[in-house]
Amino acid sequence: MKSSWKESIYLQREELAKKLREPLAQLAEQCAPAWGDREQLNEILAQSFASVPYCSFLYCLNTDGTQICDNIGHEGPAPEHYGRDRSQRPYMKEAVPAWGFLLSDAYISLMGRRPSLTALQVVRSDSNMLGYLGADFDLRDLPVTSELYEEPGYWRQVKGDPAIRGTVFQQCRVDSPMDRNLEQAFSILEELLTLRGVFQCQIHFSSSQATIWTVDDPFRYRILDHEALSDPDICLVFPPRPYPNDAAIPPQDIARILSTMQSLRFADPTIYLRTASINIFNGMISLTFSCDGSHYMSYVEFLLKDTSFWF
């Protein structure tokens, strides 16, 4: 896996640009002698449409961003786009590199409201710039050539609703049904996480519920309310499963993590833990406090910090 989503995007765009530069450069050379002749440009683009992989539409623009031919797509010409002013579209506001080819950042298309991107190839006659050859792409049609990025394991803090932060000192934690029975609830969650196939658990302290995902049915979540979390019989619903070998969190650390979360829930009456989650496969812990600030960190870093760090 790659180290970040930005690196994954960069590699994907680089691979796509390699496939598009040559066919668009060749097509631009064919367009140059016919520049200004709408019918000829339509014919050239239609004949070469298949040479541009994954393309939704081809068209030509003059230097001020006005379209001088029809849109040419899979279903033929779309004449309603002739004369269209594209000068304010996102891809026209990006600087075209000196070599004359630009693969734009992704944007939301004006007509279909779909994530899209555009490639622009400068069209020249001798040393004179005539305009641009444009090629539009729907992101649904593009292959994914880069590996899925890996979620970073370093500590990240995300600020929440400023209205909540502004009134945090006017509030006080009120015991929920889960709070009054938290040790038993956490013993049940420890059993589910270590022996019953639950790999992710999100705990909502104030509303006394936990949302869980299991390895047997990972695409659906289940909600355990206070009644379920106070009844050890709930464990019988989930068949025993060996703890996954590829889990990032050792099973013996689950109890320590839950115990630390319990401390953060009760350590301060004003700044207290409101929600928390565990994912045993990526080894991450998330915490959201009463001030609506959220934290994401590895379980190792979480266990190294005692309550004095947070308060």
> Is there a contact between 158 and 304 (Cβ–Cβ < 8 Å)?
no
Residue 153 pLDDT grade (very low, low, confident, very high; cuts 50, 70, 90): low
- Average pLDDT (136-159) is 73
> Is there a contact between 91 and 102 (Cβ–Cβ < 8 Å)?
yes
> Is there a contact between 259 and 199 (Cβ–Cβ < 8 Å)?
no
Residue 193 pLDDT grade (very low, low, confident, very high; cuts 50, 70, 90): very high
Of the given ranges (86-100, 107-121, 158-172), which has the lowest mean pLDDT? 158-172
Query: Which residue has tokens 């269209």?
Result: 84
**What's the rounded Cα separation, in Å, for the pair 19 and 180?**
62
Q: Is CATH 3.30.43.10 what the domain over 5-141 is classified as, yes or no?
A: no
The structure tokens listed for 253 are: 């650390």
Per-residue pLDDT tens digits for 133-142? 999 999 888 8
- Average pLDDT (6-17) is 80
Residue 270 pLDDT grade (very low, low, confident, very high; cuts 50, 70, 90): confident
**What's the rounded Cα separation, in Å, for the pair 136 and 92?**
12
Q: Which of 279, 98, 255 is nearest to 199 (CA)?
A: 279
Burial of 98 (0-12, 13-18, 19+ CB in 10 A): exposed
- Average pLDDT (157-175) is 66
- Delimit the domains of the chain by residue range: 5-141, 156-310
Does pLDDT of 146 surpass 80?
Answer: no
Q: Which of 49, 9, 11 is nearest to 27 (CA)?
A: 49
